[in-house]
Structures are given as structure tokens and as C-alpha cells.
């Protein structure tokens, strides 16, 4: 419709196309009227799952579910069990690209991608990069396996090396050109683009052991040794000490990546000490009052800290940056 020259256009009466033309393409003019809810990601890190060789679900899974039930109403609670199941992909190992060049280590990891037929990867198939970016706080629950974290938890954090300064611009190195990556790392541009991609979040760790179950002689030595004279169990640096140190590598990886790990959110306890492994299952665990109190107190501390800290800014941008750049052609055509 043509308007006479000099006529006044009342607000809201201009043509729809003209109104849309005034809206910036890169930013919506619509703002939320309420703050977004707090988002937490709870991860069970045991290898055991019902539909796998062990035939039973883990204590980590039961604890994760107990924690999820305790989260405040209104929070967005995301849970994941990274245990092994028949027919389910595993977390692929880290290829240590960072040892060739920090700029070769891409954020998020592009050594693998989602829905791969040749190298199926649980990190990508579960969208763990995106979910970690989306959450304000994480809670990792897992067993102590030979004085260290489970292989599944360790594999997940190995694949998170890229959150600490990984290259967000794989296009600058033709995806994985080592020489170009080394040149980029030496250039002034690298200081501008390298950063901690999940900065500002909170991570909490809860691990549990069994103190040797029923396989010790009462003095900390294995009961069935043919050569007990070869070592003194009392010299083991973690026996009788702070067994939460089994997860210290993960804690310090987070801290060095600008992810907060408060001391009170790093805890450990013992289930099933002196019992056969067959009698140290999830249903047995809940009857152990003192260890369960340690866990419940840790959950309360997690809730208190997350509430006081509030939502992390820039989550939407971080989640967008955590999308895969691998198998992009498949995503476009499939």
C-alpha cells in the first residue's frame, strides 16, 4: 500500500516485511522475563551395567539416582550413566594431539564424531560435550579402582583435555594438519583464540572404595600372597590416608581448566569393608549408615554451593561452540 508523502506511520501499522527488516539477524529482540533455571549434570562413572557382563547395575548408578531425587524443584537435572553395555559404543581414547601441538587439539574433539560407523564414540553419541557446556555444575560419582578412577571416567576426562585451551578454529588448520597447527600455536593469533571453554562451572567428585573387601589379612596385606616379604602394605601412600586422592588428577584437571572444585565437593567413603564382593551391592550399600551419610552430606553441600553461585553466564554460546565439526556432511545430508 502506498502512503502519501509526509504521512505518519503509527507504531505497529507498518507492513510485516518492513517490521521484520528492523529485527537484527544475529540477535533476538525477545528477552526472557525470568532468570533461567539452574542446570546440573550428574554422571555415574562405574563400568558396571545390568545389560553387560556384571549382570547388575552399579552403586554409582544408585547414588546418581538418589542424588537426582534430592535436587531442588525447578532445577533442570540431567543424568547419564557411562557404564558399559552390550551393543553400546565406548568412549574412544584420546589420541594425545596436544603433544604435537596445542592448536592440533580441537575444541570440541574432532578426532571422532557423532554416529560414526567406523569409530563409534560414546562422548559424541551422548552429546557429552554439549551437555557439559549446558550445565552450571557437574557431579561425578564413581568407584576407586586400584587407587584410581574407573577407566570410563578417566577416558572421559582424557577426552576433555581440549576444554583447557583447545583450538576452537579447526578451519585454520584444515581440520588436522599438524604443521599448520604448530605454526598457529607459534603465532600471535593463538593467544587470541585459545581459552578455557568451560570456564566458570563447578565440578563435584564423589568416589568410594571397599578397603580391600574380604581379601586382606587384617593388617592391610592381601590374604593370599605367596611372597608377602616382597613389600610392606603399610608403605602404600594411600592406605590409611586420604583416599579421595584417587581422583586428584581429575580434580586438578578441572581446576587448571578454570572449573571450580571446592574442597567440600571432593569426597570419598568406603562401602563393603570386610565383606565379600557379592554382599557389597547397591541394595547392601544403602544399609550402611555412616558411608551413606557421607554421601548425603556431599549432596547437600553440592546443592548449597550451586544455589549460592547461581547460573553461569554465556552457557548458550558455550553450548553452540560445543557442536561437532566432524561428520558435518552426514548431518547435512542425513
Question: What residues pair up with 140 in beta bridges, in sequence order?
Answer: 43, 205
Going 117 to 131 to 176 to 155, the CA torsion angle's sign is negative
pLDDT of residue 30: 66
Give the C-alpha separation, 45 to 41, whole Å.
Answer: 12
All domains of the chain in start order, with CATH? 35-221+235-324 (3.40.50.360)
Place of cell 603465532: 187
Burial class (CB in 10 A: 0-12, 13-18, 19+), 28: exposed
Chain centroid, CA 159 distance in Å: 10
The Cα diameter of the chain in Å comes to: 104
Give dist(CA 106, CA 153) in Å, integer.
20
- The CA–CA distances, whole Å, from 302 to 58, 266, 286 equal 22, 10, 20
Q: Give the per-residue pLDDT at 52.
A: 86
Task: Please choose, from the candidates 270, 276, 274, the residue with its C-alpha nearest in 3D space to the C-alpha of residue 241.
Answer: 270
Q: How far apart are alpha carbons 74 and 71 in whole angstroms?
A: 9
Grid coordinates in use for 217?
589379612
pLDDT-flagged residues of the chain (< 70): 1-34, 240, 327-334
Is there a cis peptide before residue 259, judged by omega within 30 degrees of 0?
no
Three cell numbers, residue 299: 549432596
**Residue that is written with C-alpha cell 544403602 in the block:** 286
Question: CA-to-CA distance for 201 and 315, rounded, in angstroms?
Answer: 10
What gap in Å lies between CA 272 and CA 263, rounded to an integer?
25
DSSP 8-state assignment for residue 147: T
Q: φ, ψ for residue 301 (rounded to 5)?
A: -65, -40
Return contacts of 168-173, CB within 8 angstroms, 24+ apart: 168/106, 168/107, 168/193, 168/195, 168/197, 168/321, 169/193, 170/106, 170/110, 170/325, 172/103, 173/103, 173/104
Q: Is 301 exposed, middle or buried (0-12, 13-18, 19+ CB in 10 A)?
A: middle
The pairs formed by 17-26 with CB atoms below 8 angstroms and a separation of 24 or more are none
Write down the pLDDT at residue 169: 96
| Contact between residue 199 and residue 109 where contact means Cβ atoms under 8 Å apart | no
Q: Give the Cα separation of 316 and 115 in Å (integer).
A: 24
Q: pLDDT tens for residues 38-66? A: 999 999 999 988 888 888 899 999 999 99
Reported as type and span, the H/E element at residue 173 is none
Residue 96: its pLDDT value, please? 97
Rg (CA), the chain: 25
Q: What is the pLDDT of residue 155?
A: 97
Amino acid at each position: 500500500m502506498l502512503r502519501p508523502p509526509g504521512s505518519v506511520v503509527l507504531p505497529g501499522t507498518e507492513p510485516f516485511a518492513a517490521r521484520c527488516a528492523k529485527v537484527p539477524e544475529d540477535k533476538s529482540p525477545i528477552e526472557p522475563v525470568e532468570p533461567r533455571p539452574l542446570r546440573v549434570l550428574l554422571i555415574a562413572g562405574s563400568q558396571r551395567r545390568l545389560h553387560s557382563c556384571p549382570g547388575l547395575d552399579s552403586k554409582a548408578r544408585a547414588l546418581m539416582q538418589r542424588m537426582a531425587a534430592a535436587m531442588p524443584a525447578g532445577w533442570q537435572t540431567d543424568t547419564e550413566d557411562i557404564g558399559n553395555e552390550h551393543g553400546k559404543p565406548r568412549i574412544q581414547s584420546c589420541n594425545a594431539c596436544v603433544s604435537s601441538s596445542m592448536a592440533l587439539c580441537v575444541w570440541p574433539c574432532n578426532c571422532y564424531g557423532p554416529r560414526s560407523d567406523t569409530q563409534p564414540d560414546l562422548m559424541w553419541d551422548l552429546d557429552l560435550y554439549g551437555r557439559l557446556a549446558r550445565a552450571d555444575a557437574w557431579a561425578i560419582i564413581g568407584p576407586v579402582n586400584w587407587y584410581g578412577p574407573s577407566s570410563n571416567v578417566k577416558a572421559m576426562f582424557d577426552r576433555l583435555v581440549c576444554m583447557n585451551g583447545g583450538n576452537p578454529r579447526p578451519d585454520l588448520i584444515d581440520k588436522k594438519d599438524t604443521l599448520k597447527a604448530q605454526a598457529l600455536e607459534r603465532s600471535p593469533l593463538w593467544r587470541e583464540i585459545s581459552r578455557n571453554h568451560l570456564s566458570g562451572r563447578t565440578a563435584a567428585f564423589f568416589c568410594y572404595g571397599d578397603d580391600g573387601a574380604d581379601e586382606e589379612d587384617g593388617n592391610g596385606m592381601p590374604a593370599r600372597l605367596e611372597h608377602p616379604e616382597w613389600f610392606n602394605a603399610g608403605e602404600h601412600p594411600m592406605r590409611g590416608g586420604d583416599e579421595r586422592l584417587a581422583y586428584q588428577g581429575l580434580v586438578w584437571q578441572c581446576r587448571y581448566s578454570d572449573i571450580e572444585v571446592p574442597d567440600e565437593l571432593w569426597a570419598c567413603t568406603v562401602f563393603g569393608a570386610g565383606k565379600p564382593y557379592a554382599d557389597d551391592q547397591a541394595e547392601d550399600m544403602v544399609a550402611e549408615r555412616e558411608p551413606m551419610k557421607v554421601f548425603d552430606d556431599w549432596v547437600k553441600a553440592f546443592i548449597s554451593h550451586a544455589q549460592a553461585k547461581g547460573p553461569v553466564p554465556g552457557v548458550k554460546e558455550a553450548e553452540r561452540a560445543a557442536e561437532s565439526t566432524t561428520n558435518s556432511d552426514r548431518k547435512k545430508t542425513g
